[in-house]
């Protein structure tokens, strides 16, 4: 240490001195520090272990059922594990349908809310609105389920009848076994449908997607905003030219994050659909299916093999949400926000 | 000589001038010319909006009441809104060019989407409380369980004491598991940083989307079936913990990363070890944010139904021991009550949901009151306490410095 110092400071030593290298910073941690690091590392590893245990255990227990069913697990619509005839074709389709209805409703709402909060709302109101959207994410799903099952069911009925009457030529909106011209037709074919479940799930997804989008929108650079205004843009022109292109990553990421939540939502779906074990492509018709509702309805099945089959279904759902969520977090981190990336 | 005399005079007058000019000239200047308004709202806009709204309501009433056989509140709202958009476009297009029309319409659309979401939230919350008002006024609702009450009994008997106790115990156990583990893991992610940090963070982020039913299924298969623990409050709290852990870790990680790096460096420069830096600087600075993240995690955990559905079992009687026997919680009780076709049971379900909602609201408001401030910003009480301890330190230093002066003074002569 002292020798290098004297060498660099003396003018004579400068010529044959090697070029400046960064000083080697050796840091010897004390015993307390070492204990601290060990404990926190153990905490991190414990969390990692728990998380991997969930996936590993699902795979381990579901393997038996997957092994028995083979590839037909993905093509069978029935769910009768005792008879060896079970698969997730119906429930997986149902899950995706409910999630897409939810995303279809939630994304416009989320973009509108996020734009309103970040661009239109006056300063004082903004904080209140951010808090309200956060509160919306904290409302228990069972409360949304009650809202859907008891309040919205009646209103959705009319909408569903109207849509099936006028848009019935589109395959998803068709309803079988009903004559739109018959005024006395029973309306029960429209109840407890994929649409209702999607509406309930949309209420849970909107705040999640909206808060991601709002964060990204509000990080659109001020210079470019003012540049757009200086060129004579209206507010909407500025939003289209600056905020939306800048927030594209956040919008996609927020949507995917919402999709991940929508795929796994359970109790709101269980309370609003009547579960059927067949592919139900008509979103307005009574009867829908979802993996989470399947597990919630059938976990009481006593036989270990049935539980193993449910585990396999849960594993499929888990893998699906994991992929969606990883893509979402990658997109959000890559968008110019930097809110979630390593600073 | 004269110059030297004049200069100070000038200086003095200029000083006086400055002192005088600063205050009075500014208002006088603003008196001459009115301040320019920089807001974008014009008076005509309000007229256009209100006129379009009036016209739209008129069109809606005409269509639904007189001209066509349309019915339904929802249809009325939708038709009126479309009529409003049309009328507004027409009115704006009378005196504005194309881009301005698009701007106005986009503004109206964004406003209405935002208010639609808010209205939906308010409807959900208010509806729960209105429906719950049937059961909540009965005192026995919060002091009795359902052990002797059948589905046909009136609301004056039976209650949700068993569910409330269950929720409290399960949350206590979950918090006892998740708070230390979550904060230690967050400290690991933001302070210690090893080769695994990025991996752990990715896994934690992925786990925030873990479907709650899968968490429940995991605990059901691992703890209830394999370890043969039986359905119990403890199994339910483990399932809730699995759900809460990633939420708390992520929120706490964000909060810890907001602590200014300069504070850490200042502490390390003073010779503190890393452990002392974290314990005395980082964690106290982020205290309000950490509390908020824990409370928000708890608010999410309180409302989890599906993991509890699989792991807690169902009982109508009060079970104080979370380690043996089924134990019901508020969301689960809500779910089970509302599955019944009996109106009194459904009313109990809504009462339970209202109680749960109130609990979540309280937790949320408390979290916001505590965590409204960013890292390092102090509440009035905290800054008073800091000021007091700083004055104390100052007195201590001066009292120590005083005897030091005397030997120096004596030394000088």
pLDDT at B392: 93
Q: How far is CA B133 from CA B138, B329, B353, in A?
A: 9, 20, 11
pLDDT at A10: 46
Query: Can you read off the two tokens belonging to residue B130?
Result: 């209105």
Average pLDDT over residues A115-121: 90
User: With an 8 Å Cβ cutoff, are A159 and B207 in contact?
Assistant: no
Whether A155 and chain B come into contact, CB under 8 Å, resolves to yes
For chain A positions 69-88, those within 8 Å of chain B (CB to CB) are none
pLDDT higher than 70, residue A145: yes
Q: Could you give the domains of chain A?
A: 95-334 (1.10.3720.10)
**Residue in A39, A143, A206 closest to B184 by CB:** A39
Q: How many whole angstroms separate alpha carbon B176 and alpha carbon B241?
A: 9
What are the tens digits of pLDDT across the range A186-196? 777 787 888 88
Phi and psi at residue A325, to the nearest 5°: -70, -40
User: With an 8 Å Cβ cutoff, are B217 and A295 in contact?
Assistant: yes
Who's near A148: CB < 8 A, 6+ residues apart? A196, A197, A199, A200, A203, A268, A271, A272
Lowest mean pLDDT among A22-31, A289-298, B6-15, B308-317: B6-15
pLDDT higher than 50, residue B121: yes
pLDDT at B18: 46
Q: How many whole angstroms separate alpha carbon A46 and alpha carbon B186?
A: 12
What are the tens digits of pLDDT across the range A242-292? 999 888 888 888 898 889 888 988 888 988 888 888 888 888 888 888 898
What DSSP state is assigned to residue B270? Answer: T
Query: Can you read off the two tokens belonging to residue A339?
Result: 């809110």
pLDDT at B192: 81
Contact B324, B230 (CB under 8 A): yes
For chain B positions 327-356, those within 8 Å of chain A (CB to CB) are 331, 334-335, 338, 346, 349-350, 353, 356
What are the tens digits of pLDDT across the range B243-277? 889 889 988 888 888 888 898 999 989 988 888 89
Residues of chain B contacting A117 with CB distance shorter than 8 Å: 114
Quote the longest CA-to-CA distance of chain B: 111
User: With an 8 Å Cβ cutoff, are B275 and A32 in contact?
Assistant: yes
Average pLDDT, chain A: 82
Q: Could you give the domains of chain B?
A: 44-132 (no CATH), 161-377 (1.10.3720.10)
Contact A239, B106 (CB under 8 A): yes
Taking alpha carbons only, the member of B192, B2, B392, B362 closest to residue A38 is: B192
pLDDT at A15: 55
Residues of chain A contacting B276 with CB distance shorter than 8 Å: 32
Locus of tokens 């994410």: A137
pLDDT band for B371, please (50, 70, 90 cuts): low
Residues of chain B contacting A264 with CB distance shorter than 8 Å: 209-214
Alpha helices in chain A (DSSP H): 2-9, 31-69, 89-115, 123-138, 141-146, 153-167, 194-218, 222-230, 235-238, 244-246, 248-264, 267-272, 291-298, 304-334
Residues of chain B contacting A328 with CB distance shorter than 8 Å: 209
Who's near B271: CB < 8 A, 6+ residues apart? none
Whether A326 and chain B come into contact, CB under 8 Å, resolves to yes
> Half-sphere exposure of residue A67, counting CA atoms within 13 Å on the CB side?
8
Average pLDDT over residues B319-326: 83
Average pLDDT over residues B61-68: 79
What are the tens digits of pLDDT across the range A29-68? 788 888 888 888 888 889 889 888 888 888 888 888 888 8
pLDDT at A17: 62
**Nearest chain A residue to B272, by CA:** A33
3-state secondary structure A68-98: HHHHHHHCCCCEEHHHCEECCHHHHHHHHHH
Contact B99, A237 (CB under 8 A): yes
**Residue in B114, B242, B353 closest to A142 by CB:** B353
pLDDT at B37: 66
Q: How many whole angstroms separate alpha carbon A41 and alpha carbon A261?
A: 29
What are the tens digits of pLDDT across the range B69-100? 777 777 788 888 888 888 888 888 887 788 88
For chain B positions 111-150, those within 8 Å of chain A (CB to CB) are 111-114, 116-118, 120-121, 123-125, 127-128, 131
Percent of chain B with pLDDT strictly greater than 90:
16
Whether A323 and chain B come into contact, CB under 8 Å, resolves to no
Calculate how close chain B gets to A15, using CA atoms only, in Å: 34
pLDDT band for B102, please (50, 70, 90 cuts): confident
Percent of chain B with pLDDT strictly greater than 70:
85
User: With an 8 Å Cβ cutoff, are A54 and B206 in contact?
Assistant: no
Helix (H) or strand (E) run with residue B324 in it: none
Calculate how close chain B gets to A244, using CA atoms only, in Å: 13
Residues of chain B contacting A148 with CB distance shorter than 8 Å: none
Taking alpha carbons only, the member of A272, A290, A232, A246 closest to residue A96 is: A290
Q: How many whole angstroms separate alpha carbon B94 and alpha carbon B82?
A: 19
Q: How far is CA A61 from CA A51, A140, A310, in A?
A: 16, 30, 9
Q: How far is CA B57 from CA B81, B84, B104, B119, B120, in A?
A: 9, 8, 20, 19, 22
Helix A123-138 with B287-302: angle, nearest 10 deg: 40
Calculate how close chain A gets to B280, using CA atoms only, in Å: 13
pLDDT band for B16, please (50, 70, 90 cuts): very low
Contact B243, B210 (CB under 8 A): yes
pLDDT higher than 80, residue B60: yes
**Nearest chain A residue to B178, by CA:** A47
Q: How many whole angstroms separate alpha carbon B243 and alpha carbon B248?
A: 9
Phi and psi at residue A121, to the nearest 5°: -70, 140
What is the sign, positive or negative, of the torsion defined by CA atoms of A144, A147, A152, A154?
Answer: positive
Length of chain A in terms of residues written: 343
Query: Can you read off the two tokens belonging to residue B99?
Result: 């881009």
Q: How many whole angstroms separate alpha carbon B71 and alpha carbon B49?
A: 26
**Nearest chain A residue to B355, by CA:** A143
Residues of chain B contacting A327 with CB distance shorter than 8 Å: none
Buried b (16+ CB within 10 A) or exposed e, B259-283: beeeebeebeeeebbbbbbbeebbb
**Residue in B131, B273, B310 closest to A30 by CB:** B273
Query: Can you read off the two tokens belonging to residue B374?
Result: 């960013």
User: With an 8 Å Cβ cutoff, are B185 and A40 in contact?
Assistant: yes
pLDDT higher than 70, residue B31: no
Residues forming beta bridges with residue A79, ordered by sequence position: A86
Average pLDDT, chain B: 81
Q: Which of A16-25, A97-106, B127-136 is most confident? A: A97-106
Length of chain B in terms of residues written: 413
pLDDT at A183: 65
User: With an 8 Å Cβ cutoff, are B192 and A37 in contact?
Assistant: yes
Whether A218 and chain B come into contact, CB under 8 Å, resolves to no
User: With an 8 Å Cβ cutoff, are B117 and A133 in contact?
Assistant: yes
Higher pLDDT, B380 or A302: B380
Higher pLDDT, A237 or A157: A237
What are the tens digits of pLDDT across the range B187-205? 998 888 777 888 888 888 8
pLDDT at A106: 93
pLDDT higher than 70, residue A97: yes
pLDDT at B3: 43
What DSSP state is assigned to residue A275? Answer: B
Contact A54, B188 (CB under 8 A): no
Q: How far is CA A22 from CA A18, A19, A26, A29, in A?
A: 12, 10, 12, 21
pLDDT band for B182, please (50, 70, 90 cuts): very high
pLDDT band for A302, please (50, 70, 90 cuts): low
End-to-end Cα spacing for chain A: 34
pLDDT higher than 70, residue B41: no
Whether B274 and chain A come into contact, CB under 8 Å, resolves to yes
Who's near B318: CB < 8 A, 6+ residues apart? B145, B147, B161, B162, B165
């Amino acid at each position: 240490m002292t020798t290098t110092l004297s060498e660099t400071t003396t003018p004579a030593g400068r010529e044959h001195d090697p070029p400046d290298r960064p000083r080697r910073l050796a840091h010897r941690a004390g015993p307390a520090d070492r204990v601290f690091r060990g404990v926190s590392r153990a905490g991190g590893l414990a969390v990692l272990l728990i998380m991997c245990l969930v996936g590993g255990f699902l795979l381990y227990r579901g393997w038996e059922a997957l092994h028995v069913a083979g590839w037909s697990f993905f093509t069978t619509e029935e769910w009768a594990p005792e008879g060896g005839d079970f698969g997730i074709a119906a429930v997986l389709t149902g899950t995706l349908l409910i999630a897409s209805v939810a995303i279809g409703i939630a994304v416009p709402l989320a973009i509108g809310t996020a734009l309103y909060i970040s661009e239109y709302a006056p300063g004082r109101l903004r904080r209140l609105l951010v808090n309200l959207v956060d509160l919306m994410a904290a409302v228990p799903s069972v409360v949304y389920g009650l809202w859907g099952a008891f309040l919205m069911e009646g209103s959705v009925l009319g909408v569903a009848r109207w849509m099936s009457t006028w848009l019935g030529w589109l395959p998803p909106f068709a309803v079988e076994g009903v004559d739109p011209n018959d005024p006395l037709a029973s309306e029960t074919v429209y109840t407890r449908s994929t649409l209702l479940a999607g509406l309930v799930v949309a209420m849970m997804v909107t705040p999640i997607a909206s808060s991601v989008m709002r964060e990204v929108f509000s990080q659109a650079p001020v210079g470019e905003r003012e540049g757009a205004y200086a060129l004579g843009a209206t507010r909407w022109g500025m939003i289209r030219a600056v905020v939306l292109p800048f927030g594209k990553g956040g919008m996609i990421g927020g949507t995917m994050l919402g999709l991940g939540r929508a795929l796994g939502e359970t109790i709101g779906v269980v309370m609003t659909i009547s579960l059927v074990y067949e592919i139900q492509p008509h979103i307005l018709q009574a009867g829908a299916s979802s993996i989470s509702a399947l597990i919630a309805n059938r976990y009481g099945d006593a036989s270990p093999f049935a539980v193993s089959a449910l585990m396999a279904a849960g594993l499929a759902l888990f893998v699906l949400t994991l992929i969606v969520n990883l893509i979402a977090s990658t997109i959000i981190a890559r968008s110019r926000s930097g809110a979630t990336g390593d600073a | 000589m004269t110059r030297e005399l004049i200069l100070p005079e000038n200086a003095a007058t200029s000083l006086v001038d400055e002192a005088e000019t600063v205050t009075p000239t500014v208002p006088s200047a603003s008196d001459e010319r009115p301040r320019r308004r920089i807001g974008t709202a014009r008076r005509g806009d309000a007229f256009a909006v209100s006129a379009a709204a009036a016209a739209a309501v008129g069109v809606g009433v005409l269509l639904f009441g007189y001209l066509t056989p349309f019915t339904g509140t929802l249809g009325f709202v939708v038709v009126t809104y479309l009529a409003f958009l049309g009328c507004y476009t027409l009115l704006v297009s009378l005196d504005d060019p194309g881009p301005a029309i698009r701007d106005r319409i986009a503004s109206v659309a964004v406003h209405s989407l935002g208010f639609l979401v808010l209205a939906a939230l308010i409807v959900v919350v208010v509806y729960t409380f209105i429906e719950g008002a049937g059961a909540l006024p009965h005192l026995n609702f919060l002091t009795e369980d359902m052990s002797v009450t059948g589905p046909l009994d009136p609301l004056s008997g039976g209650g949700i004491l068993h569910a409330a106790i269950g929720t409290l115990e399960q949350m206590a156990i979950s918090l006892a598991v998740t708070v230390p583990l979550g904060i230690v893991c967050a400290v690991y992610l933001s302070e210690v940083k090893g080769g695994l940090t990025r991996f752990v963070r990715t896994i934690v982020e992925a786990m925030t989307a873990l479907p709650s039913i899968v968490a429940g299924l995991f605990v059901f298969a691992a703890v209830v079936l394999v370890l043969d623990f039986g359905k119990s409050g403890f199994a339910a709290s483990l399932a809730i913990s699995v759900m809460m852990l990633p939420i708390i870790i992520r929120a706490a990680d964000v909060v810890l990363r907001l602590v200014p790096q300069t504070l850490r460096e200042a502490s390390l420069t003073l010779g503190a070890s890393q452990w002392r830096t974290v314990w005395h600087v980082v964690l106290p600075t982020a205290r309000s944010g950490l509390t908020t993240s824990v409370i928000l995690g708890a608010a999410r955990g309180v409302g989890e139904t599906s993991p509890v559905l699989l792991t807690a079992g169902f009982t109508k009687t009060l079970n104080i021991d979370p380690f043996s026997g089924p134990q019901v919680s508020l969301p689960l009780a809500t779910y089970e009550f509302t599955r019944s076709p009996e109106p009194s049971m459904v009313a109990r379900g809504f009462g339970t949901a209202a109680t749960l909602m109130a609990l979540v609201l309280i937790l949320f408001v408390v979290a916001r009151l505590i965590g409204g401030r960013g890292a390092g910003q102090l509440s009035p009480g905290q800054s008073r306490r800091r000021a007091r301890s700083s004055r104390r330190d100052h007195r201590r230093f001066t009292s120590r410095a005083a005897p030091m002066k005397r030997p120096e003074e004596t030394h000088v002569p």
